[in-house]
Structure 1
């Protein structure tokens, strides 16, 4: 129900008291356990890094020498990818798969039997769906859709091997995959296995160091004490970010994005569960102006959050200025303005008791899902592959629109019951049910169809020519 403002006393000029509901989030379970991490001895680390370089050369040689046997080479590439070390061999893998595609699995010179079709699908899967759409185009029916019976037969031929590897990718940690490769792959490559273990340990040390630094920043920020109404989830946010990219070259991107997402999570809770509409409007207007001089106009809890946001953005601005990328900082600010604007729209609907149409809701909620903001901020921490065009792509390409739709609809279907119990803006479920006078189950069924179609758009986005470099697409895919 709408929040009411009542006077705290009859005294003239007394400040009104705002009835502030809370979501009663559970406290963090981590405490300060990650702050005390001590990095490994520099000499020991240097020794491991030297071992990694030597092993990389051995793996690279085997990958190249296996070119005469495409099946063997494909399986070796599969092992490299499953063990999480493919980022060391991106160029070699790309060249090997392109060579196989051009010389062994050319659809123009193969019969259309299921065996050859299955090889095509397997090759495309190995290359991240980014080689060519020729295979898919060849097996479309006249209506433009895929022949489901053919694809089902191909899935059957790929069999348990494929199913097992897909499950490994989505359900098992990298450490578990290393263990399985060691125990169950009779012909496992000793150099590759040792590389995977050493690389895993080095990456784990790096991630622990990053989390330790972020935990220290979080403690100094003081949100746990000053902002009691919001989720305290800096550790979870870091692992959320880690799921996008774990590689060492994205360390800065993880640091920046974790800080921004932790603060935006707090702002999200503030708009959802704390404060009056007048306060929310004031905060949104200050963000829109990027006003750094009028912070005293804000309520105390908003001052703390706003100052933390400005401090993180100052950190981003200084780093971008050093690299001559002022345009990146501009897009970071614009993304935040758009994000807070979406939060305010939803807050206004809630305070007014408004249930918008599903189309109007999705227009705003795709942004409030934080997918666009997350993508923009992550771009800032990446290297020279990020261009000005990439920032525009975030809000306009079917690939990212599909990503936002998936995130928003799955989020709403999962959380709307809890959110409606505590008082929250109508979700996609309530909007659809009201507009079409259907049951919640019918709304779920419709949204599941939309999600399935959105995944097709994402798969299509990986087929060449791609709208953006594959590392960009991969980050958004992992985020989704």
Structure 2
């Protein structure tokens, strides 16, 4: 089929390859060697001792606050949003279990919008499949929310945040989200500056879709302005943020050194140089101190997949791509000399990273995990090649054909499988079989990635997108197509919510990284491709999380 968009060049064998390659130009790295300066960063014993001292004080506060009080709900919420809940997982888990056990009793007699919404959200976040019918008390006879029962903006904001945790069939939460978001938008002009900033941020990135570290950085600023904030918790959160930031800075320094030694910036100048952005991406999945090895491996693999994506999309000839794909299927270092130089150095880097991973994982006796990730990488290259062949042959796939392949090329199945190195001591072959069998949550996470990416990339990317395929197949306008794809993204979030409610198909430690990958996408692809074009928003995100310490 023909496709006649001037912004969408179709490559053919008769095109001048150098012209095609020059048609895409990415901006150079923003960070360069900046993070090399953190190579000697260390966390002092004084900082470590002070953190433990404050942690002990905070645990005491948490344990002494009654589980059946609104103060406990607010305290748990603040701990989670400040990014320090990983210190108190056992205590929070026990408290939420107690709150769940008395949920019906408390919710039936509680007419406070904020506490009802907060209790609901915290329990759904924890995986409890509680009913949203509790919100019916705030509606009229027609089932519409009664504005008179919402006394302030905070009530609306808590309802708004809770409503995002809906699943298919939670019609009252759909109404709650529509009602609260429209009212918050309407009230924005008359809010105080600090409150309007908080509301604008929530409307753009609700708690469900927030990254822990970036969300903590933002919430710390808002929390310290609350008159009722807990000073012990605030100080602890700031200190923890700064200590963990130092750890991340040193890690990124080592990864930057690895990247610099590969010299991809010069050897593969056609590709996106985004290693710092990849590290930030992985912080959205594993930021906690104990996951140093996981961050290193996941960042390296993600950065190399990004290079591979550019090889398949904009630089490789069809013959080269077919050869590369065949060699990846064999996964043999002896095949390196068969590849053209630009592919060989990428492939060699992949093999080296996998050897690094094998050396670590085999020490724990879980070497089969590596084999599963290799199989996912093979699937990924086959899907990349299929997309390239469509472009070279000028074949416009159907929406169904496109979706089947394009969900694989998001890399979400690959990264979801690889993320199991974070639970490698407990993961089973059954878990690996499950996560590589296209389960609903992985497919939903990939849908968020694919369709959000395709919407912001329409008219820019050099390959077919869901927008092109849907418009072609259905005769739809661009705006109608965008609306349809956004509906699919909304449904995908509901599917992920459902998969995280008990009884879950696998442990939450396996499910959480899959959802976290979608959260990163929501941040980076909400309005633009902030990964490819990382000079503005993403630069600011990285500065907040990885450069500027908090003032204590």
Normalised by the length of structure 1, the TM-score is 0.88
Name the structure 1 match of 2:295: 254
What does 1:11-410 align with in structure 2 at a 5 Å threshold?
21-22=21-22, 23-41=24-42, 45-67=44-66, 69-103=68-102, 105-106=103-104, 111=108, 115=111, 119-136=115-132, 144-147=169-172, 151=176, 155=180, 166=202, 169=207, 170=210, 173-182=215-224, 184-395=225-436, 396-410=438-452
Report the CA distance between 1:392 and its aligned residue: 2.8
Q: Contact 2:133/2:172 (CA < 8 Å) preserved in 1?
A: no
> For the structure 1 residues 260 and 148, does the alpha-carbon distance in structure 2 shift closer, same or farther, using more than 3 Å as the test?
closer
Q: Contact 1:268/1:343 (CA < 8 Å) preserved in 2?
A: yes
Q: Contact 2:132/2:172 (CA < 8 Å) preserved in 1?
A: no
Report the CA distance between 1:282 and its aligned residue: 0.5
Name the structure 2 match of 1:3: 12
Report the CA distance between 1:351 and its aligned residue: 0.5
Report the CA distance between 1:151 and its aligned residue: 3.3
Report the CA distance between 1:136 and its aligned residue: 3.9
Q: Which one scores higher on RCO, CA 8 angstroms, separation ≥ 6?
A: 2
Q: Contact 1:4/1:19 (CA < 8 Å) preserved in 2?
A: no
Q: Contact 2:256/2:276 (CA < 8 Å) preserved in 1?
A: yes
> For the structure 1 residues 444 and 165, does the alpha-carbon distance in structure 2 shift closer, same or farther, using more than 3 Å as the test?
closer
Name the structure 2 match of 1:10: none
Q: Decide which of 506, 515, 519 is 1:468's aligned counterpart.
A: 506
Report the more deviating stretch, 214-223 or 247-256.
Answer: 247-256
Q: How far apart in 2 are the matches of 1:102 and 1:281?
A: 58
Report the CA distance between 1:403 and its aligned residue: 0.8
Report the CA distance between 1:262 and its aligned residue: 0.7
Q: Contact 2:282/2:299 (CA < 8 Å) preserved in 1?
A: yes
Deviations 1:52-97 (A, max 9, x none): 1121111111111112652111111112112111110011011111
> For the structure 1 residues 31 and 86, does the alpha-carbon distance in structure 2 shift closer, same or farther, using more than 3 Å as the test?
same
Report the CA distance between 1:472 and its aligned residue: 2.7
Report the more deviating stretch, 335-344 or 429-438.
Answer: 429-438
Please say if 1:477 is aligned against 2:515: yes
What's the C-alpha RMSD, in Å, of the aligned pairs?
A: 2.9
Deviations 1:211-250 (A, max 9, x none): 1000000000111111111111111111111122211122
Q: How far apart in 1 are the matches of 2:493 and 2:384?
A: 26
Q: Contact 1:253/1:381 (CA < 8 Å) preserved in 2?
A: yes
Name the structure 2 match of 1:13: none
Q: How far apart in 1 are the matches of 2:330 and 2:119?
A: 51
Please say if 1:431 is aligned against 2:464: no
Report the CA distance between 1:435 and its aligned residue: 1.0
Q: Contact 1:230/1:269 (CA < 8 Å) preserved in 2?
A: yes
How many positions carry a matched residue from both structures?
459
Report the CA distance between 1:451 and its aligned residue: 1.2
Normalised by the length of structure 2, the TM-score is 0.77
Q: How far apart in 2 are the matches of 1:134 and 1:418?
A: 44
Q: How far apart in 1 are the matches of 2:482 and 2:455?
A: 7
> For the structure 1 residues 38 and 387, does the alpha-carbon distance in structure 2 shift closer, same or farther, using more than 3 Å as the test?
same
Q: Max radius of gyration: which structure?
A: 1
Q: Contact 1:231/1:265 (CA < 8 Å) preserved in 2?
A: yes
Report the CA distance between 1:179 and its aligned residue: 3.1
Report the CA distance between 1:173 and its aligned residue: 4.9
Q: How far apart in 1 are the matches of 2:242 and 2:255?
A: 20
Deviations 1:172-194 (A, max 9, x none): 65334223322x12233232222
Name the structure 1 match of 2:542: none
Q: Contact 1:120/1:135 (CA < 8 Å) preserved in 2?
A: no
Q: How far apart in 2 are the matches of 1:191 and 1:144?
A: 41
Deviations 1:246-284 (A, max 9, x none): 111222111001101111111100000012111100100
Q: Contact 1:98/1:131 (CA < 8 Å) preserved in 2?
A: no
